[in-house]
């Protein structure tokens, strides 16, 4: 039995070219497209369970859906399959690829913007991936890749999970897919990470699309964040030799604010600083043991306190 409630299938297709929008062609017609572009063919058939698509008379492997997207020229036909019977082979729709047509060009730009230049180990912070289309043409099949180094751990998206964004834990890499980005459009995504080891964390963001990019220089953007640990020394030697001459607390720059107070062994305050700049040299004080009280405020507003002692020695320390 052949035909079902359909005898011949009408193929309707939409050209995914920005300059023409939607175009409808009937069987026996031809459509000319620019090389590198694509066209979607749709078979309309009542009660069809599956389809077999052909290009120039040869079946297309894996093409069994109502729609197929093609980029190659040729004469496309289709058969619709039912439970017990199938339709006749449709008339063709010819797709002609014009090799003389100019490929559509775009100008995509990616910016890699951390919200800190320094951060403590085990603390979270954010990156903004800002994607721009600086051209007037729409970019399609846009893929942004964000590579994280060993010093950083991916936590998640700041505004929750979104379709088109995937994280690969094995490669420590995030990919962001957009079907299209219109000319002149800008879109951003915020990524939350955590410092998991000291060092300079260099991240790399890159973008590509189906179209040729006229300015590939701004398709890649790197940024560097120093991941630090808060370290308070227990000795310093202000003897003017240029080495260890001040009481230097490593990692202070990763905090919003700090307060440092120094006491002598009698409990008298000898030094105080708000937003200490690692510049206390113990000027005017004798050698000996001093006690410090350190208070730091992180970027969430939480206060952290530490206290201990430090030895002030003016003589050079020899091993």
Quote the pLDDT of residue 305.
87
Q: What are the pLDDT digits (tens) for 214-225?
A: 999 999 999 999
Domain 105-228 homologous superfamily, CATH: ntegrin, alpha v. Chain A, domain 3 (2.60.40.1510)
Helix (H, G, I), strand (E, B) or coil at 295: strand
Q: Do residues 253 and 118 lie in contact, with contact meaning Cβ atoms separated by under 8 Å?
A: yes
Domain boundaries, the chain: 10-98, 105-228, 235-312
% the chain with pLDDT above 90 = 53
Domain 235-312 has CATH 2.60.40.1220: yes
Q: What are the pLDDT digits (tens) for 86-139?
A: 888 888 888 888 766 556 789 999 999 999 888 888 888 999 999 999 999 899
Residue 183 pLDDT exceeds 80: yes
Quote the pLDDT of residue 316.
60
Quote the pLDDT of residue 160.
72
Top pLDDT among 303 and 286 is at 286
Angle at 176 between CA 103 and CA 191, to 5 degrees: 140
Quote the pLDDT of residue 15.
27
Domain 10-98 has CATH 1.10.10.10: no
Sign of the alpha-carbon dihedral angle for 44, 46, 47, 52: negative
Q: What are the pLDDT digits (tens) for 250-263?
A: 888 888 899 999 99
């Amino acid at each position: 039995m052949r035909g079902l409630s359909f005898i011949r299938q009408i193929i309707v297709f939409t050209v995914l070219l920005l300059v023409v929008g939607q175009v409808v062609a009937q069987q026996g017609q031809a459509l000319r497209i620019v090389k590198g572009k694509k066209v979607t063919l749709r078979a309309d058939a009542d009660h069809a369970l599956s389809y077999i698509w052909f290009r120039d008379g040869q079946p297309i492997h894996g093409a069994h859906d109502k729609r197929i997207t093609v980029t190659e020229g040729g004469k496309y036909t289709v058969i619709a399959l039912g439970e017990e019977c199938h339709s006749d082979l449709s008339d063709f729709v010819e797709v002609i690829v014009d090799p003389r047509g100019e490929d559509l060009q775009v100008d995509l730009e990616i910016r890699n913007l951390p919200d800190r230049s320094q951060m403590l180990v085990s603390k979270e912070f954010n990156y903004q991936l800002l994607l721009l289309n600086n051209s007037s043409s729409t970019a399609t099949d846009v893929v942004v890749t964000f590579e994280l180094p060993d010093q950083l751990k991916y936590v998640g998206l700041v505004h929750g999970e979104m379709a088109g964004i995937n994280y690969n834990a094995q490669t420590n890499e995030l990919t962001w897919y957009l079907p299209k980005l219109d000319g002149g459009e800008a879109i951003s995504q915020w990524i939350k990470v955590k410092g998991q080891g000291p060092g300079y964390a260099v991240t790399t963001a890159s973008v590509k699309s189906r179209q040729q990019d006229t300015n590939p220089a701004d398709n890649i953007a790197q940024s560097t964040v120093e991941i630090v640990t808060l370290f308070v020394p227990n000795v310093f030697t202000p003897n003017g030799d240029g080495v260890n001459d001040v009481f230097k607390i490593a990692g202070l720059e990763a905090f919003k604010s700090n307060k440092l107070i120094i006491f002598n062994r009698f409990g008298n305050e000898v030094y105080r600083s708000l937003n200490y700049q690692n510049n206390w040299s113990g000027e005017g004080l004798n050698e000996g043991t001093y006690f410090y009280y350190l208070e730091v405020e992180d970027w969430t507003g939480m206060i952290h306190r530490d206290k201990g002692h430090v030895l002030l020695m003016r003589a050079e320390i020899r091993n």
